[in-house]
Amino acid sequence: MRSYGQYCALAKALDLVGDRWTLLIVRELGLRGPSRYTDLQHGLPGIATNMLADRLREMEDAGIVRRDAAPPPVATALFQLTERGQELVPVLFALGRWGTALMGERAEGDEFRTHWLKYPLEQLFADAAPSEPPVTIELRTGDQPIVVEATGGAVRTHPGGADKPDAVVTGEPDVVIGLLKRRLDLREAKRRGLRVDGDAKALRRLQPLG
């Protein structure tokens, strides 16, 4: 990106991260930690392969990304955020929070990856009953399942299936999100193809913030 040529902190920040795709690459690296090139491509549907290569090089030059040779069994390059790059995560939170208002119906053709839910779930929800025993909810709604845990006041997630979940929620991403954010009630969500197995009351532990 050509520089804005303005002696202003915001403009200087945009000189480095204002390019198309750059902040989404930061999102991927923030969510996944050290990642292979192909994993990044999978998490960035729609990106052209030369774009990803260009951006990673520029971000390396900007001191946001570091490229390491992976240890022997893997033998491939791994990309990860530098410390300076990690400091961009609060920026993602601020922009993402602003963007949640835009997460209504899923537009036709919109891609979805389950791991994108991590930051929203952990940032924009609280555990409604901090003193109760933890609950575990498995969401099945994208390319892979994700486990959501409400424990001690906070919400944590990790990819994959749960061992003995209190509830399993299956459905389209926009319906699952609509239910969690309480824009849809359970009846309406079910009408839209959602299924809840196990204890539906466990869902009440996920308290939308803001």
Partner DNA sequence: CGGCATCCTCTTTGATACTG
Partner DNA sequence: CAGTATCAAAGAGGATGCCG
Q: Pick between residue 56 and residue 117 the one whose CB is nearest to a copy of itself.
A: 117
Residues 74-103, interacting with a copy of itself (CB under 8 A): 84, 87-88, 90-103
Instruction: Give the separation between CA 176 and CA 76, rounded to whole angstroms.
Output: 36
The bridge status of strand 167-170 relative to strand 195-198 is: antiparallel
Could you tell me which of 131, 123, 149 has the C-alpha nearest to residue 202? 149
Given 23, 24, 37, 129, the residue binding DNA (CB under 7 A) = 37
The helix (run of H) or strand (run of E) holding residue 157 is strand 154-159
Q: In angstroms, how far apart are the furthest CA atoms of the chain?
A: 58
191 touching a copy of itself, by CB under 8 A: no
Contact 135, 162 (CB under 8 A): no
Site string for a copy of itself, 162-181 (x = CB under 8 A): -----------xx-------
Q: Does 38 bind a copy of itself (CB under 8 A)?
A: no
Q: Give the residue, chosen from 27, 32, 55, 205, that forms a contact with a copy of itself under the rule CB under 8 A.
A: 27
Decide: helix, strand or coil at residue 80. strand
Is 53 a binder of DNA (CB under 7 A)?
yes
Q: Which two tokens stand for residue 86?
A: 């990690």
Which residues bind to a copy of itself, rule: CB under 8 A?
A: 1, 3-18, 20, 23-24, 27, 45-46, 84, 87-88, 90-103, 106-107, 109-113, 116, 120, 173-174
